[in-house]
């Protein structure tokens, strides 16, 4: 989109550069800074805010002991509450039984069992954030994590499900250390071990008579699948297995009363899996370098139709507009839904910023007006999703419900903050969105000050964006927002398009005229991107007639260059 030449730093064969995929939010932040500075020398920020291997080796202590039984029970319950309601990683009752048996028999020498429970203890500590961090690392639970990792250097030739469970638990904890490459490698190993034992197939009852174990196999596979797509959406890695190679059924309820003892909500897991499928499609169809028979906007249309159908099909207990408090796992699911919308549409919003900051202005005919209105509609969807994400996270933050060391809330907040910056620059009526950016900036600052490594990385990126804005104001303190907004206003006012902050829940114009950015967003706003213009776009049988290659070269060519960092 921004040039033909790939971005490289000096190459050292002993330390090869890391490729930064287009879907990564940090890459999008770099794109934004490049547009703001209009400088070809703007480089990607290397990621240094993670726990390095040398630090982990200092923490390693083979003599690390299991905690007391009461503490172990509490840590396991924390994981059940915070993790297994979102992802099926273990059987709850079986895990509790294993824990009690280990302490009763003092069986602390089994490496497979120890590795699994140390991974659970690590997650329990980091989610509770009540342990005393070490001098080497501020992230709670890291001692358990390091010792668990040292037990799996040689993967088993004949894996058990416990091996796969442990790899998934450790991959999730790796994000708390901002070691997302390690997380990717661990879930990749889990997937390949899962293929070894055929988790992607339905196992015959004759081979596995226990219905709970059969369902556990099914759900464990889909947890691997969700992790693969979810991790890919954060950094842009390609999916590791095609949907065509998966033959196992969707999760289902185990007959009888034993279901709730072992597993979580089936409908929630199915919704999570379906959203993960769409997430994988977004990465593949928007950010890959494949050649597609459809145009960019045709792919956008299909993706947004899928997201609309997913949202409309949600059962009542998984919707946000419900009576009473919304469970954490439901909020997490809708944050990922919003992220999907932003991933799919933010290249177009960045294109709008490029157009708004371009000094050239040309007269438009009706066809060009149509294409610009279509791009405006997609930009509005991106802005709606970002505002909704911001609202959900701010409410969780003010309620004290955000995991202080958590990766995913910090990532979603960072992603939405970038959209808020562009929205405030491109559309004059959205100037209040910059206040949302500043609120996100302060939350990430607070999380960073408490030792959240991912928040530190994202905060540093936002700080660079703010510096770019300050530099554009110039030494006399001019208002860059006003300058860009005036340019954008002159290029869009002829379209008579309703701005996103004038839209209500389903795209209807608000009667009050109060900016949506200045008031609390209703939880039901998860479908706010479905305004009238969006419905018209989704209903088009063929959007090709809207396209003018001379106007949409930058959209068609997304992405057209690579980022590399040290």
- pLDDT tens-digit series, residues 208-265: 999 999 999 999 999 999 999 999 888 888 899 999 999 999 999 987 766 566 778 8
Chain centroid to Cα 493, Å, comes to 34
Whole-number Cα distances in Å, 417 to 356, 386, 394, 422, 488:
19, 7, 12, 9, 20
Position 473 scores a pLDDT of 72
Cα–Cα distance between 472 and 36 in angstroms, integer?
7
* Per-residue pLDDT band at 97 (split at 50, 70, 90): very high
Name the residue with higher pLDDT: 553 or 112.
Answer: 112
Q: Specify the pLDDT at position 117.
A: 97
Residue 503: per-residue pLDDT = 31
d(CA 353, CA 424): 10
**Contact (Cβ atoms closer than 8 angstroms) between residue 305 and residue 529:** no
| Mean pLDDT of the 96-125 span | 94
pLDDT at 529 over 90: no
Share of the chain above pLDDT 90, in %: 58
Burial of 392 by CB count in 10 Å (0-12 exposed, 13-18 middle, 19+ buried)? Answer: buried
Q: Which helix (H) or strand (E) element contains residue 298?
A: helix 296-312
pLDDT at 173: 97
Find out whether 21 and 233 touch, Cβ atoms under 8 Å: no
pLDDT at 551: 40
| Per-residue model confidence (pLDDT) at position 344 | 94
Express as a percent the part of the chain with pLDDT over 70: 78
* Across 125-138, average pLDDT: 72
Higher pLDDT among residues 500 and 268, named by residue: 268
Cβ atoms of 32 and 350 within 8 Å: the answer is: yes
Q: Which helix (H) or strand (E) holds 120?
A: helix 111-128
Per-residue pLDDT, 444:
97
Distance CA 518, CA 564 (A): 38
- Determine the pLDDT at residue 39: 82
Can you tell me the mean pLDDT for 347-353?
92
Residue 366 — very low, low, confident or very high, per pLDDT cuts 50/70/90?
low
Q: Look at residue 90 in the predicted model and tell me its pLDDT.
A: 95
pLDDT tier at 177 (50, 70, 90 boundaries)? Answer: very high
The pLDDT, as a whole number, for residue 237 is 85
Q: Is 108 a residue whose pLDDT tops 70? A: yes
Token match 């058990």: residue?
160
pLDDT of residue 219: 96
3-class secondary structure, 73: helix
Say what the pLDDT of residue 132 is. Answer: 52
CA distance 464 to 457: 11
HSE-CB at 21 with a 13 A cutoff on CA atoms is 19
Specify the pLDDT at position 273.
98
The band of 477, judged by pLDDT with boundaries at 50, 70 and 90, is low
Greater pLDDT, 263 or 431: 431
Rounded distance, CA 464 to CA 460, Å? 6
pLDDT reading at 87 higher than 90: yes
With tokens 């299909």, the residue in question is 302
E strand or H helix that includes residue 18: strand 18-20
Confidence grade of residue 380 (pLDDT, cut at 50, 70, 90): very high
Structure confidence at residue 484 (pLDDT): 54
547-565 tens-digit pLDDT:
444 444 444 444 455 566 5
DSSP assignment of 456-468, as one string?
A: HHHHHHHHHHHHH
């Amino acid at each position: 989109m921004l040039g033909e030449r790939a971005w490289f730093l000096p190459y050292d064969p002993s330390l090869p550069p890391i490729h930064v995929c287009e879907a990564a939010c940090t890459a999008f932040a770099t794109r934004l800074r490049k547009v703001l500075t209009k400088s070809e020398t703007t480089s990607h920020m290397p990621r240094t805010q993670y726990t390095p291997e040398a630090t982990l080796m200092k923490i390693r202590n083979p003599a690390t002991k299991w905690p007391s039984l009461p503490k172990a029970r509490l840590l396991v319950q924390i994981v059940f509450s915070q993790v297994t309601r979102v992802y099926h990683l273990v059987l709850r009752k079986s895990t509790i039984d294993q824990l009690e048996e280990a302490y009763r028999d003092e069986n602390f020498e089994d490496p497979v069992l120890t590795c699994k429970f140390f991974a659970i203890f690590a997650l329990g500590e980091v989610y509770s954030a009540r342990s005393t961090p070490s001098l080497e690392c501020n992230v709670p639970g890291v001692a358990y994590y390091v010792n668990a990792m040292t037990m799996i250097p040689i993967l088993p030739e004949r894996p058990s499900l416990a091996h796969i469970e442990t790899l998934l638990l450790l991959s999730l904890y790796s994000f708390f250390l901002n070691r997302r490459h390690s997380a990717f490698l661990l879930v990749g190993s889990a997937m390949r071990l899962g293929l070894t034992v055929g988790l992607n197939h339905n196992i015959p009852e004759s081979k596995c008579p226990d219905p709970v174990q059969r369902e556990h196999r099914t759900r464990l596979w889909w947890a691997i699948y969700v992790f693969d797509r979810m991790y890919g959406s954060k950094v842009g890695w390609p999916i590791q297995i095609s949907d065509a190679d998966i033959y196992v059924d969707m999760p289902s309820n185990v007959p009888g009363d034993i279901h709730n003892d072992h597993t979580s909500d089936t409908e929630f897991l199915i919704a999570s899996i379906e959203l993960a499928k769409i997430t994988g499609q977004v990465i593949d169809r928007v950010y890959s370098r494949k050649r597609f028979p459809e145009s960019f906007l045709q792919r956008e249309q299909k993706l947004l139709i899928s997201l609309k159908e997913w949202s409309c099909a949600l059962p009542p207990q998984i919707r946000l507009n419900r009576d009473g408090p919304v469970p954490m796992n439901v909020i997490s699911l809708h944050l990922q839904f919003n992220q999907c919308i932003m991933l799919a549409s933010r290249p177009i919003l960045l294109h709008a910023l490029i157009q708004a900051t371009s000094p050239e202005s040309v007269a438009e005919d009706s066809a060009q007006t149509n294409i610009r209105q279509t791009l405006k509609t997609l930009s509005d969807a991106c802005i709606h999703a970002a505002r909704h994400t911001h609202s959900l996270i701010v409410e969780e933050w003010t309620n004290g419900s955000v995991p202080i060391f958590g990766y995913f809330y910090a990532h979603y907040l960072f992603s939405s903050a970038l959209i808020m910056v562009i929205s405030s620059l491109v559309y004059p009526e959205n100037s209040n969105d910059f206040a949302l950016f500043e609120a996100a900036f302060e939350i990430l600052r607070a999380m960073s000050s408490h030792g959240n490594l991912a928040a530190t990385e994202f905060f540093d990126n936002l700080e660079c964006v703010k510096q770019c804005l300050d530099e554009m104001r110039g030494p006399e303190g001019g208002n860059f927002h006003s300058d860009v907004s005036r340019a954008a206003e002159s290029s869009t006012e002829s379209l008579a398009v309703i701005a996103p902050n004038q839209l209500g829940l389903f795209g209807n114009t608000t009667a009050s005229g109060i900016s949506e950015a200045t008031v609390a967003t209703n939880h039901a706003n998860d479908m706010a991107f479905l305004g009238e213009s969006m419905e018209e776009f989704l209903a088009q049988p063929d959007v090709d007639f809207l396209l003018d290659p001379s106007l949409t070269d930058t959209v068609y060519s997304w992405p057209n260059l690579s980022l590399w960092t040290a």
